[in-house]
């Protein structure tokens, strides 16, 4: 045998061993603890939901799953951290719907949601509620639109920062109605609620869980819900579509892995996620908080993400929202 032939044979053997080792590792997945990075602080919807789901996924996979908070940079710190992680399924990312919008809104996003990550599936989705102060003159979304149309540039809406659910639902409301209303940004969602309750800002879209205490204390009222149907927890509040506004919006939370993670690992994680979403205590928890389960395969979730990116880009372009 020639030396060239031996070198070629040896190289082929090494490649074969490497591929075999990778395949064996994937087949045995998971054989060590997994961690899910939450790019937000503890106590929020993303953190709490991830911990609930991680516990159930851990039961299914028979491996510990740790939830690690890496907040900062409006969710960018944790997201970029996972982007740089090993593509073996042991470091995952939990993210919210702003994940698909941020690259269209910020110059420094540092990631492409479709190219840099692989979707595992949705953890939940939830319609938003359109809130105003109890003392406002309008009692429905339709009345708000009528007043804003009659007085362009006078009414306002609050949101918790670019790419937040409050922001995304708000700009899509503007896009669908063509209203000229003032955008009032806050540093986080929690800061906006007291100003809505006090009437300093006219309206905002927010989560049921976050606003229900204000409704119960008679400080705010609900004008509409953004889903395709009324919330079981707010049966007397009509949808936007019922009021003639052609908008359906859902806040969602999902699980991701860095692109390049083996397909069999993605599928295994998807199985674990679907198991978690079928547990009765999870379903009960979602029902009381106004959330719901949507079972999507990784392929269906990828298609969903493509639609989300395309829709946000069209809204941003139509409203001439500049990147910052």
**Homologous superfamily in CATH for domain 129-243:** Periplasmic binding protein-like II (3.40.190.10)
**With 80 as the cut, is the pLDDT of residue 138 above it?**
yes
Q: What topology does CATH give the domain 32-125+252-318?
A: D-Maltodextrin-Binding Protein; domain 2 (3.40.190)
Q: Is the backbone of residue 207 left (phi > 0), alpha (psi -120 to 50) or beta? A: beta
Distance CA 65, CA 55 (A): 7
Q: What is the pLDDT of residues 201-255, one digit of tens each?
A: 999 999 999 999 999 999 999 999 999 999 999 999 999 999 999 999 999 999 9
- The 3-state secondary structure of the chain reads CCHHHHHHHHHHHHHHHHHHHHHHHHHCCCCCCEEEEECCCCCCHHHHHHHHHHHHHHHHHCCCEEEEECCCCCCHHHHHHHHCCCCCCCEEEEEEHHHHCHHHHCCCCCCCCCCCEEEEEEEEEEECEEEEECCCCCCCHHHHHHHHHHCCCCCEEEECCCCCHHHHHHHHHHHHHCCCCEEEECCCCCCHHHHHHHCCCCEEEECHHHHHHHHHCCCEEEEEECCCCCCCCCCCCCECHHHCCCCCCEEEEEEEEECCCCHHHHHHHHHHHHHHHCCHHHHHHHHHCCEECCCCCHHHHHHHHHHHHHHHHHHHHHCCCCCC
Q: What is the pLDDT of residues 35-83, one digit of tens each?
A: 999 999 998 899 999 999 999 999 999 999 999 999 988 899 999 999 9
Residue 162 is predicted with a pLDDT of 87
For the chain, the structural domain boundaries read: 32-125+252-318, 129-243
Residue 274 is predicted with a pLDDT of 98
- Two domains, one topology: 32-125+252-318 and 129-243: yes
Residue 308: C-alpha distances to residues 66, 89, 302, 303 (Å): 29, 24, 10, 9
Residue 26 is predicted with a pLDDT of 55
Q: What is the pLDDT of residues 1-28, one digit of tens each?
A: 555 544 554 554 445 444 444 455 556 9
Residue 270 is predicted with a pLDDT of 98
Tell me the pTM: 0.88
């Amino acid at each position: 045998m020639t030396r060239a032939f031996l070198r070629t044979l040896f190289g082929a053997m090494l490649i074969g061993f490497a591929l075999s080792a990778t395949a064996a590792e994937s087949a045995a997945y998971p054989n060590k603890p997994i961690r899910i990075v939450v790019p937000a602080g503890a106590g929020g919807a993303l953190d709490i939901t991830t911990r609930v789901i991680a516990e159930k996924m851990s039961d299914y996979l028979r491996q510990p799953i740790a939830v690690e908070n890496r907040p900062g940079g409006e969710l960018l710190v944790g997201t970029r951290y996972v982007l740089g992680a090993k593509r073996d399924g042991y470091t995952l990312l939990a993210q919210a719907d702003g994940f698909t919008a941020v690259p269209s809104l910020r110059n420094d996003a540092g990631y492409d949601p479709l190219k840099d990550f692989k979707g595992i599936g949705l953890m939940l989705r939830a319609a938003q509620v359109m809130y105003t102060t109890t003392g406002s003159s309008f009692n429905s979304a339709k009345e708000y639109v009528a007043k804003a149309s009659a007085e362009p540039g006078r009414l306002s809406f609050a949101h918790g920062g670019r790419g937040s659910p409050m922001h995304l639902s708000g700009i899509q409301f503007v896009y669908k109605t063509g209203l000229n209303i003032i955008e009032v940004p806050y540093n986080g969602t929690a800061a906006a609620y007291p100003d809505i309750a006090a009437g300093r800002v006219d309206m905002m879209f927010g989560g049921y869980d976050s606003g229900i205490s204000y409704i119960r204390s008679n400080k705010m009222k609900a004008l509409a819900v953004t889903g395709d149907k009324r919330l079981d927890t707010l049966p007397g509040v009509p949808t936007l579509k019922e009021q003639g506004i052609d908008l359906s919006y859902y806040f969602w939370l999902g699980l991701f892995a860095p692109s390049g993670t083996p397909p069999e690992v993605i599928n295994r994680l998807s199985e674990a996620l679907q198991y978690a979403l079928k547990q009765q205590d999870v379903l009960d928890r979602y029902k009381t908080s106004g959330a719901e389960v949507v079972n999507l395969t990784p392929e269906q979730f990828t298609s969903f993400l493509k639609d989300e990116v395309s829709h946000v880009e069209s809204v941003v372009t139509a409203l001439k929202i500049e990147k910052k």
